[in-house]
Chain A
Amino acid sequence: MLAGIAPMFGAAEFVRPAIDWHAAAPELTLLGFGALITMIDIGWLERARRIAAPLASLALLATLVPIITLALAGDDRSMFNGGFVVDDYSLIMKATFVLAGYVVVLMSTDYIAEGDYWENEYYGLLLSSILGMILMASARDLISIFVALELLSIPAYMLVTWRKRDLKSNEAGLKYYLMGVFASAVMLYGMSLLYGASGSTLLVDVNDAVSEPASPSAVVVLGIIFVVVGFAFKVSAFPFHTWAPDTYEGSPTPVTAFISVASKAAGFVALMNLLFVGFLGRDDVFEPLMWALAAASMTAGNLMALRQTNIVRLLAYSGVAQAGYMLAPLAVAGTVPPDKALTASVTYLVIYAAMNLGAFAVVIAVARKTRSAEISDYRGLFHYAPGLTVAMTIFLFSLAGIPPLGGWLAKFRVMEALIEADTASGLVLGIFVAVNSVIALYYYARIGFGMWAEDAPDGDLTPVNVPMSLGVALTLTAVITVAMGVIPGDVVGRFTEVSLLAGG
């Protein structure tokens, strides 16, 4: 959208860009509700607490409406010279962000209210972070990608420290913040190099410029590497994952769920926008980079997860490994038809969102009774909370990729893309995925074993009290996780083949 930034300082006349209000409706709706929640808080103070969570839910459901109407309309739209694009890919990701946000609100409702934390601010910030995410799904311009990234990150920094009297929460927030801004700085430097090489911030123009043989290669390569590394922090890929375990452990658990799913997905969306629109001509640069990140993330993430005793830390490391699986198709993005790699990653992201959110919902539910996230406290869960145990079993083994749960389809699509590439590197990465699935199974199955087969640590068999909103979140995620695996044709039929509109 700022392709014309230089001429603006010249004398060129400013032309008001045409605005497609329908295309921008999801963002505008969410923005309106976010502002409303904040205003109500200012006006009503304490009285506003009661309506904060329902209003946030309503905001997200209302945002779904224009997303659905846009999907029904079915045509691709583009604004600002192609800097803002609405296509099937961006709509799927927007719907995922909004639904994930909705589940997070459901998970937060009792957690935040009972913890005596500020509520309106919490939901206001949550909504603005989601706003950044859905904006990211449409961004096809270096500047708007950066703005969307900051919009989704800055509220998240605050949410992480929400338990402000808890030292761990402070530590979590500080680490997340420092790592986050460091990543932003690196990425911004990369973007400036790319801008220097191409003279435009529009991704399509960047692609044209970097693909040309005559382009200053070192600058381009360095730019691409810096940008990718910046997002590698965001998606917690090895070796840029070091913030994740501490941040996950210290944050309020619903926020952990939010950053481990929505924020990571947003990082992936940005990465995919950049790779598929901006750098596709330079697959010789990004493919090896992605290959290394993917292989290292899945292997290192899994190996470190093996040693964890805290379930949130375990999910953090397993999240690193999962990021590796999602990165894998990007390592063959230039070899297979780009749609194929994109579809594989998107399918993985959507299914991952459902199963990982579900796992965190169980963590929250169990912690209501045990006040702990130690894996040893999951022993004997089956004897006093069979429903939660079955749900957790579904989520864990879906993460492990066992049919017929959703995760298997996700892994299948990744493997499919890797094999279709028909290159030695693709095949080797496929074997990496296969072997890592087995390593990962060990720690998932170990939790499953403890829940089902061991006795409760202190013989305390009082049932877990699951509040209704949390129950809805659990049911929703569990149903989606199973349905994705058994009848994916019907569930994901709409976005089975996503492609990405380049814009312009």
Chain B
Amino acid sequence: METITDNNWLLTVLVFAPLVGALIMVLIPQQDEQSHKQVALLTSLVTLGLAAFLLIDFNYGKAGVLQYFADAEWIEVIGAGYTIGVDGMSLPLIALTALIMPLVFVYSWNHIPEPGNAKAFLILSLILETGMIGTFVAQDLVLFFVFFEVVLLPMFFMIAVWGGENRRYASLKFFLFTLFGSALMLLSFLALYFLTEADTFSMLVLTENAGEGIARGTQLLVFAGMFLGFGVKVPMFPFHTWLPDAHTEAPTQGSVILAAVLLKLGTYGFIRIAIPMLPEAAEAWAPWIGLLAVIGIIYGALGCLAQTDMKRLIAFSSVAHMGFVMLGIATLTDFGINAAIFGMVAHGLITGMLFFIAGSVKERYHTLEIKRLGGMLAQAPRLGWILGFVSMASLGLPGLAGFWGEFPAILAAYEPAVGLSEKTFHVYMVVAAIGTVLAAGYLLWLLQRTAMGEPPAEFADDPNITDVSTTEWIAWAPLLFGIVLFGVAPGLIFEVTDPAVGQSLNNCITLTGCEVAEAAASSGSGGG
């Protein structure tokens, strides 16, 4: 398969730049908190600069081809290579990661969570960044697995050390759930290695091979292993139970990273690995994925309606939103998967923003209990309006980014790939549409209870309740801008992702004849 190897040092530098920053910070004494914050912010800005260069330099005419492709030997004995590259599918997610991290560091400037120790906190954040970007550029299954897991430890400690009351339970639960999934995922990767003729972990080769020569029953099992690994991370119903706990207990920055990027590792795994490599099994599993996705949508929404804690409510809304993403993926169409990628980016911006707001509310009111909050618009009008704005984006108001994640996913379910039962997916479509109504319900209700009305007596004269501060403005403005920008011009993302999605789906058609292409073609190009 064609690849472009120009400037292929760029990705390596991009992936490891945060790690270099972390190593520098190891040498700075712990007391010097200011230097730590500066180095961390600077490192993430350098990374953002590199990502910006990547965005400019990227050959958009060939978005379906892996660019900046590098392939070096790494662990020869197990046939694992240091293979990295970027195409239109991963580019938006890399940009999202590079954007979120500086904002997290800006926010950290005067919000280092209890019990302090900026050094350790910021070092862990930088390691996280390396792990996340690495996962999006890896083009070798073993490399992917390693980066996928590198993310685990820092996140565990972030929740465990800087988390809330119940952090012990939440952090362990997060860790055990994800590790369980990824252990089985590793088994599947190994099975793929041995079952294909090529004996390779190269994603390119495995995608081209598309499961040829593997018995159908085995394909189904191997796909199931990946399904567990990625599904836990997404998280799909019924593996989602770690998410509300982790989100609720994590410090604000942890929640933002978790919502904005970590959850995408799972969905990205589906579209990058599971589906293109085993299209036949994907087709067999798709109705079940779709079913779990719509259950997730409804369950997440109902869960939101029942929450009394604002952060927990946002966490449950993640379950619902990722349900839409998974529904898009389950249709196995060009259109649906494009929508899914858009949904990932949109959810990253919107839910990341919601968690920032929740963090600020917690800081001002020292509680997130919805019952006790109220009248934010009166006391901190800008904060209240931002909450209102982001809630609108989250419920999928046309013109804002959230819309383009949900609406096309629902639409794609009207016409799933050939070979999938239309009737089933029509039912899913209807259920998902009901989900959007429920989403409007819980978000508006949240807004009504927290922002409208008179401030409750206990906070009425509280001097702590101030409006949005400067650091908060700096940290939030890019996200708010992104929500509007991609809402008005969704083509910015669709045009990048579409060729890559088409490419990965095309491979499976030419080899297995599952004729997804026709379906994709007839459902129209996703480029809106």
Contact assessment for B183 and A437 in the assembled complex, using a CB-CB cutoff below 8 Å: yes
Contact assessment for B172 and A442 in the assembled complex, using a CB-CB cutoff below 8 Å: yes
Q: Looking across the interface, which residue of chain B has its beta carbon closest to that of A439? A: B176
Q: Considering only CB atoms and an 8 Å cut-off, how many residues of chain A contact the other chain?
A: 38
Residue in B149, B193, B194 whose beta carbon sits within 8 Å of that of A402 in the complex: B149
Contact assessment for B150 and A404 in the assembled complex, using a CB-CB cutoff below 8 Å: yes
Does A422 lie at the interface of the complex (its beta carbon under 8 Å from any beta carbon of B)? yes
Contact assessment for A413 and B191 in the assembled complex, using a CB-CB cutoff below 8 Å: no
| Min distance, Cβ A38 to any Cβ of chain B, angstroms | 42
Beta-carbon contacts under 8 Å, A418-451 to B: 419-420, 422, 430-431, 433-435, 437-438, 441-442, 445-446, 448-449
Contacts of A435 in B (CB 8 A): 180, 183
Contacts of A441 in B (CB 8 A): 175-176, 179
Contact assessment for B187 and A445 in the assembled complex, using a CB-CB cutoff below 8 Å: no
Contacts of B74 in A (CB 8 A): 489
Beta-carbon contacts under 8 Å, A258-305 to B: none
Does B474 lie at the interface of the complex (its beta carbon under 8 Å from any beta carbon of A)? no
A492 to B194, CA, bound (A): 23
A441 to B171, CA, bound (A): 12
Contacts of B78 in A (CB 8 A): 409, 412-413, 416
Q: Looking across the interface, which residue of chain B has its beta carbon closest to that of A441? A: B179
Does A496 lie at the interface of the complex (its beta carbon under 8 Å from any beta carbon of B)? yes
Does A403 lie at the interface of the complex (its beta carbon under 8 Å from any beta carbon of B)? yes
Residue in B77, B149, B183, B193 whose beta carbon sits within 8 Å of that of A489 in the complex: B77
Contacts of B73 in A (CB 8 A): 489
Q: Looking across the interface, which residue of chain A has its beta carbon closest to that of B186? A: A415
| Min distance, Cβ B137 to any Cβ of chain A, angstroms | 16
A449 to B180, CA, bound (A): 19
Known: A431-B187, A449-B171. A408 touches B176 (CB 8 A): no
Per-residue CB contact flags for chain B residues 151-190 toward chain A (1 = under 8 Å, else 0) read: 0110011001101000110011001100110011011001
A409 to B77, CA, bound (A): 11
Known: A413-B78, A489-B74, A497-B77. A449 touches B172 (CB 8 A): yes
Known: A438-B176, A489-B77. A397 touches B153 (CB 8 A): yes
State the majority secondary structure of interface residues on B. helix
Residue in B30, B168, B180 whose beta carbon sits within 8 Å of that of A438 in the complex: B180
Contacts of A430 in B (CB 8 A): 187, 190
| Min distance, Cβ B340 to any Cβ of chain A, angstroms | 27
Contacts of B172 in A (CB 8 A): 442, 445-446, 449
Contact assessment for B160 and A415 in the assembled complex, using a CB-CB cutoff below 8 Å: no
Contact assessment for A496 and B76 in the assembled complex, using a CB-CB cutoff below 8 Å: yes
Known: A419-B191, A453-B160. A438 touches B179 (CB 8 A): yes
A97 to B175, CA, bound (A): 34
Contacts of B152 in A (CB 8 A): 402
Does B145 lie at the interface of the complex (its beta carbon under 8 Å from any beta carbon of A)? yes
Residue in A420, A445, A489 whose beta carbon sits within 8 Å of that of B175 in the complex: A445
A20 to B153, CA, bound (A): 51
A430 to B187, CA, bound (A): 7
Per-residue CB contact flags for chain A residues 447-460 toward chain B (1 = under 8 Å, else 0) read: 01100110000000
Contacts of B380 in A (CB 8 A): none
Contact assessment for A489 and B187 in the assembled complex, using a CB-CB cutoff below 8 Å: no
Contacts of B489 in A (CB 8 A): none
Does B427 lie at the interface of the complex (its beta carbon under 8 Å from any beta carbon of A)? no
Q: Looking across the interface, which residue of chain B has its beta carbon closest to that of A394? A: B153
| Min distance, Cβ A355 to any Cβ of chain B, angstroms | 15
| Min distance, Cβ B75 to any Cβ of chain A, angstroms | 5
Contacts of A422 in B (CB 8 A): 194
Does B146 lie at the interface of the complex (its beta carbon under 8 Å from any beta carbon of A)? yes
Contacts of A402 in B (CB 8 A): 149, 152-153, 179
Contact assessment for B75 and A409 in the assembled complex, using a CB-CB cutoff below 8 Å: yes
Contact assessment for A442 and B176 in the assembled complex, using a CB-CB cutoff below 8 Å: yes
Q: Looking across the interface, which residue of chain B has its beta carbon closest to that of A436? A: B183
Does A4 lie at the interface of the complex (its beta carbon under 8 Å from any beta carbon of B)? no
| Min distance, Cβ A407 to any Cβ of chain B, angstroms | 11
| Min distance, Cβ A441 to any Cβ of chain B, angstroms | 5
Q: Looking across the interface, which residue of chain A has its beta carbon closest to that of B79? A: A416
Contacts of B179 in A (CB 8 A): 402, 437-438, 441
Does A488 lie at the interface of the complex (its beta carbon under 8 Å from any beta carbon of B)? yes
A445 to B157, CA, bound (A): 10
A497 to B142, CA, bound (A): 19
Contacts of B30 in A (CB 8 A): 386
Known: A403-B145, A419-B194, A496-B76. A434 touches B187 (CB 8 A): yes
A404 to B149, CA, bound (A): 8
Contact assessment for B190 and A416 in the assembled complex, using a CB-CB cutoff below 8 Å: yes
Per-residue CB contact flags for chain A residues 35-69 toward chain B (1 = under 8 Å, else 0) read: 00000000000000000000000000000000000
Contacts of B191 in A (CB 8 A): 419
Q: Looking across the interface, which residue of chain B has its beta carbon closest to that of A496? A: B77
Contacts of B193 in A (CB 8 A): 416, 419
Contacts of B180 in A (CB 8 A): 434-435, 438
Contact assessment for B146 and A408 in the assembled complex, using a CB-CB cutoff below 8 Å: yes
Contact assessment for A434 and B183 in the assembled complex, using a CB-CB cutoff below 8 Å: yes
| Min distance, Cβ A376 to any Cβ of chain B, angstroms | 14
A343 to B78, CA, bound (A): 11
Per-residue CB contact flags for chain B residues 191-206 toward chain A (1 = under 8 Å, else 0) read: 1011000000000000
A404 to B151, CA, bound (A): 10
Known: A419-B187, A453-B171, A489-B73. 15 other contacts (CB 8 A): A382-B161, A402-B149, A403-B145, A413-B78, A437-B183, A438-B176, A438-B183, A442-B172, A445-B175, A449-B160, A449-B172, A453-B163, A453-B167, A489-B74, A489-B76
25 contacts between A and B (CB under 8 A): A382-B120, A402-B152, A402-B179, A403-B150, A404-B150, A408-B146, A415-B186, A416-B193, A419-B191, A430-B187, A433-B183, A434-B183, A434-B186, A437-B179, A438-B179, A438-B180, A441-B176, A442-B172, A442-B176, A446-B172, A448-B157, A449-B160, A449-B171, A453-B168, A489-B75
Pairs of residues from A and B, 10 with the lowest C-beta to C-beta distance, nearest first: A434-B183, A496-B77, A403-B146, A403-B149, A419-B190, A453-B161, A438-B180, A453-B160, A452-B161, A449-B160
